[in-house]
Amino acid sequence: MANLFKIAIRNLLRYKRRTLLTASLIMVGVVFVLVFVSVTGSFKNLMIGQITDSMIGHLQVHRKGFVASIETLPLNLNLKGGAIGKLETILNAQPEIETYSPRVKFGGMFSNFTETSSIRLTAIYPEKEFKTVPLLPERVTDGSKDLQTGGILIPELLSRGMKVNPGDAVVIVATNADGSVNGKQFTVTGVMESATGPGGRDGYIHMDDARELLRMDGRQVSEYAVRLKNFDDLAGFSKKLDGLFEKELNQQGKPLFEVHTWDQLSPFANIARMIDVMSLFIKLMLIAIVLISIMNVMIMAVYERIREIGTIAAIGTQPGKILNMFVVEGFCLGIAGALIGNVVGIALVVILNLLKLTYNFGRQEIVLRADIYPFDILVITATVIIVSVIASLQPAFKASRMEPINALRHV
Amino acid sequence: MSLVIAEEIGKNYQVGEVVIPALRGVSFEIDPSSFVSFIGPSGSGKTTLLNLIGCLDTPTTGRLTVAGADVGKLDRRQGAIFRGANIGFIFQDFNLLPVLTVYENIEYPLLMVQKVASGDRRKRVSALLEAVGMADQKDKYPDQISGGQKQRVAVARALVTNPKLVLADEPTANLDHQTAYMVLDLMKKMRNEFKTTFIFSTHDQKIVGEAEIIYMLEDGELKGKEIKGGKNNG
């Protein structure tokens, strides 16, 4: 086998300019894919991180039917008493879960005593919430991040529009599940930006205040935001929870709980999917570049060496070995392009990181930090090598099937 | 027993709708360790006959036996194996592999065809390099040596597998007078040393003069045979 490689490398070096051009083409393809995959991959991960760690959590559990009616934030679909106990027992028993946070979501009216506007509120236990969505405090741009009873974190939109600042008194008016309207005065603890860009109307209050405002009898929960120890386990764990919840039925014999992963709850999941599709197309382009360039070079190589093929066939080289000679040549060309491409690609990504380029996601300015994962390098390299071998097969097969007598006559 | 037995062999080529007979009912026998030349004008069928003996082609009619094997019954793979084990080739244009050195060109059939162990390989290649007087040029590439030297390397490559038979198609056509004689002397010396049968196709009088048995071909037919000397007259 070593001799096949020796002959292949020497044949490649025989046509230095052509080999260099082809290897360069493959290299450019590999660099492009590597940089694209690492930059978009990092952007995707950052985006997912922002959404899951500052707002949604990795997954959420609701009473069955809540998500379908989420626009109206129906208090009558909150989990209560026994259901909460059952659910927390199940969640507490899952080793995959790092932490979870119960929330009550409801709509209300926000008043600064002179103006009134609508607001969507999420009632939380701050300690649990900040562990489940650890980037949430970073969204507080003004005031304190420490949410106590009697305090409210208000959206920037209302702060600006109604000229309300931290320390100001405001009133929240909300309708409870029975239809009666209640009000409560709060002190603005902090102003927070929206996780997904301007225009958000989401505020946060303490769970104890929500209980008082909505006059709840006992505990009620609209949703549980769940954080896993390992985000990569999400799909598998979601299925596991689905399985566990199948046994939990309400009095009508219908499922009591439902699980939704972050991508089922956020429209930004479509951007993540688009990035995946774009990466796939870029990889397909790489495959096309490698396939066409290697096949072109190998067809030329076979055509130029017909008499040599005739000679080695005449002196007894078996067709399989002739085939291997040309396949190994394509393989070496692919390896060279992939290796140089990886080195240049990694260097480019390092330079990109050193430049500390910034871009905005929502209201946040994020510094570009492109990560190259060994798995990506492995996949790209393997793709190039496999495609190189496939591209060499047809010319190599043609060479191996040549009749030595005809090949020797070739001028 | 004869090394090559041709019984009424014929070879036709189809060009469009026209069938062109290149050989017509040729019969002969060649003994081991012979130094034989097929001569004749261009188009007489010399190269066709050598291609048939070299298992590069199959006869259209008749039966051709080389080293006990019926050439007409060998498929592509069997043909390659048979050639690798029994036949050496010397080409008019030398046909050395340009990416291999002199040493590697001679070593090629042992390495890539017969898979001989490295120690034995080294011994055989070195012996032949000495025998053809190319030991001091062994690390050079074909484009760094002269035509005569290339043909000496080709002779060594043909002999390195200890074949029963070496076929040489116009081996001196591209060589000057002095070099041609040098190569011919070398081949005869090799025949004497290794007991290999050499068969040439040529219209070069130098080879004709050195051959021990001469077959004359004309229009695809064997017109005569001349026996000039013993097997060790070189």
Least confident of A99-113, B70-84, B94-108: B70-84
For A215-229, B69-83, B193-207, which range has the lowest pLDDT when averaged over its residues? B193-207
Q: Which of A56, A36, A48, A146 is nearest to A366 (CA)?
A: A48
Partner A contacted by B97 (CB < 8 A): yes
Q: What is the mean pLDDT of chain A?
A: 88
Q: What is the per-residue pLDDT across B27-64, written as a single tens digit (0 to 9) for each? A: 999 988 888 989 888 888 888 899 999 988 888 999 99
Q: What is the pLDDT of residues A31-72, one digit of tens each?
A: 988 888 888 888 888 888 888 998 899 999 998 888 777 777
Distance CA B9, CA B52 (A): 9
Contacts of A313 in chain B (CB under 8 A): 80
Instruction: Tell me the average pLDDT across B4-14.
Output: 89
Q: How far apart are the first and last CA of chain A?
A: 30
Query: B10 near B23, Cβ under 8 Å?
Result: yes
Q: How many CB pairs under 8 A join A and B?
A: 69
Of residues A3, A10, A315, nearest to B109 (C-beta): A315
Give the confidence band of B231 by pLDDT, cuts at 50, 70, 90: very low
Nearest Cα residue in chain B from A311:
B95
The b/e string for A221-235 (b: 16+ C-beta within 10 A; e otherwise) is bbbbbbbbeeeeebe
pLDDT tens per residue across span A160-169? 899 999 999 9
SS (H, E, C) B190-229: HHHHHCCEEEEEECCHHHHHHCCEEEEEECCEEEEEEECC
Determine the residue of chain B that is closest to A1 in CA distance: B112
A40 is written with which tokens? 């978009």
B109 to A316: CB separation less than 8 angstroms, yes or no: yes
Least confident of A27-31, A195-199, A255-259, B106-110: A195-199
Chain A residues inside the 8 Å CB shell of B66: none
* Interval A8-31 mean pLDDT: 90
Candidate from B83, B97, B99 with C-beta closest to A316:
B83
Is the pLDDT assigned to residue A336 strictly greater than 80? yes
At B229, the pLDDT band (50, 70, 90 cuts) reads low
At A364 the pLDDT is 65
Rounded to a whole number of angstroms, the distance from the CA of B18 to the nearest CA of chain A is 19
- If you average pLDDT over residues B128-146, what whole number do you get? 89
Q: Which residues contact B78 (CB under 8 A, 6 or more apart)?
A: none
Nearest to B84 among A3, A316, A405 (CB): A316
B56 to A405: CB separation less than 8 angstroms, yes or no = yes
Please give the residue of chain A at the shortest CA–CA distance from B160. A315
- Nearest-CA distance from A318 to chain B in Å? 6
Interchain CB contact of A317 with B (< 8 Å): yes
Please list, in sequence order, all residues whose beta carbon lies within 8 angstroms of the beta carbon of residue A54, skipping any fewer than 6 positions away.
A133, A135, A136, A138, A139, A195
Contact A14 B98 (CB under 8 A): yes
Subunit contact B108:A315, Cβ cutoff 8 A: yes
Query: Considering chain A, what percentage of its residues have pLDDT values greater than 70?
Result: 98
What's the pLDDT at B234? 37
A319 CB neighbours in chain B (<8 A) are 76-77, 80
**B20 vs chain A: nearest CA distance in angstroms?**
17
Question: Is the minimum CB–CB distance between A311 and chain B shorter than 8 Å?
Answer: yes
Quote the CA–CA distance of A219 and B78 in Å, as a whole number.
Answer: 86
Select the residue of B56, B84, B112 nearest A3 (Cβ to Cβ). Answer: B112
Query: Could you report the predicted ipTM of this complex, rounded to two decimals?
Result: 0.87
How far A39 CA lies from chain B's nearest CA (Å)?
A: 43
pLDDT at A250 over 70: yes
From CA A400, how far away is CA A327, in angstroms rounded? 11
| Segment B141-192, tens digit of pLDDT | 999 998 888 988 998 898 888 888 999 888 877 777 777 787 788 778 878 8
A7 touches chain B (CB under 8 A): yes
Alpha-carbon distance of A162 to A200, in angstroms, equals: 14
- The answer to whether the Cβ–Cβ distance between A317 and B112 falls below 8 Å is yes
- All residues of chain A having their beta carbon less than 8 Å from the beta carbon of residue B83 are 314-316
| CA separation for the pair A224, A189 (Å, rounded) | 24
Residue B169 near residue B157 (C-beta atoms within 8 A): no
**Token pair of A357, please?**
């380029």
**Structure tokens belonging to residue B29:** 């026998």
Report, as an integer, the average pLDDT of A353-372: 77
Q: Which residues of A touch B97 (CB under 8 A)?
A: 7, 308, 311-312
The pLDDT score that the predictor gives to residue A204 is 94
Both tokens of A63, joined, read 């009473």
Helices (DSSP H) in chain B: which residue ranges?
A: 46-53, 76-86, 102-108, 118-131, 147-159, 177-194, 205-210
Q: By percentage, how much of chain B surpasses pLDDT 70?
A: 97
Cβ distance B100 to A405 less than 8 Å, yes or no, reads no
Task: Give the helix/strand (H/E) hosting B65.
Answer: strand B61-66
pLDDT tens by residue, A283-327? 888 888 888 988 888 898 899 999 999 999 999 998 999 999 999
Runs of H (alpha helix) within A179-318: 207-213, 234-246, 262-265, 269-304, 306-314
Shortest distance between the Cα of A276 and any Cα of chain B, in A, equals: 45
Q: Are B215 and B36 contacting, i.e. CB atoms less than 8 angstroms apart?
A: yes
Q: Do A314 and B112 touch (CB under 8 A)?
A: no
pTM: 0.75
| Structure-token pair, residue A110 | 């926000």
H/E segment holding residue A346: helix A319-355
| Interface membership of A179 toward B (CB under 8 Å) | no
Indicate whether A386 pLDDT > 50. yes
Q: Nearest CA to CA, how far is B157 from chain A (Å)?
A: 9
Identify which of A371, A283, A268, A383 has the alpha carbon closest to the alpha carbon of residue A41: A371
Residue A197 has pLDDT above 70, yes or no: no
Q: Are strands B35-39 and A220-221 parallel, antiparallel or unpaired?
A: unpaired
Nearest chain A residue to B166 by CA distance is A315
CA separation, residue A290 to residues A31, A32, A191, A374, B59 (Å)? 13, 13, 53, 21, 44
Q: Which residues of A touch B80 (CB under 8 A)?
A: 313, 316-319
**Highest mean pLDDT pick, A188-197, A388-397, B201-210:** A388-397
Question: Domains plus CATH for chain B?
Answer: 4-227 (3.40.50.300)
Query: What does the block give as tokens for A113?
Result: 């005593």
Contacts of B51 in chain A (CB under 8 A): 405
* Residue A301, CA distances (Å) to A13, A330, B60, B160 in order: 12, 10, 33, 28
- pLDDT band at B17; cut points 50, 70, 90: confident
- The confidence band for B232, taking pLDDT boundaries of 50, 70 and 90, is very low
Q: Which residues, including other chains, have CB under 8 Å from residue B229's CB and lie 6 or more apart?
A: B212
- Does A304 reach chain B within 8 Å, measured CB to CB? no
The pLDDT of A75-96, averaged and rounded, is: 88
Question: Is residue A255 within 8 Å of A242, Cβ to Cβ?
Answer: no
Q: Please indicate if any CB of chain A lies within 8 Å of the CB of B139.
A: no
Distance CA A39, CA A33 (A): 10
Which of A214, A208, A148 minimizes the C-alpha distance to A183? A214
Q: Which residues of B are less than 8 Å from A311 in CB distance?
A: 89, 91, 95, 97
> Between chains, do B99 and A311 touch, taking CB under 8 Å as contact?
no
Chain A nearest C-alpha distance from B99 (Å): 6
A147: its two tokens:
């949410």
Residues of B in contact with A16 (CB under 8 A): none
A308/B97 CB distance under 8 A: yes
CA-based nearest residue in chain B for residue A15 = B99
Q: What is the pLDDT of residue B96?
A: 93
Give the phi and the psi of residue B163 in degrees, each rounded to 5: -75, 160
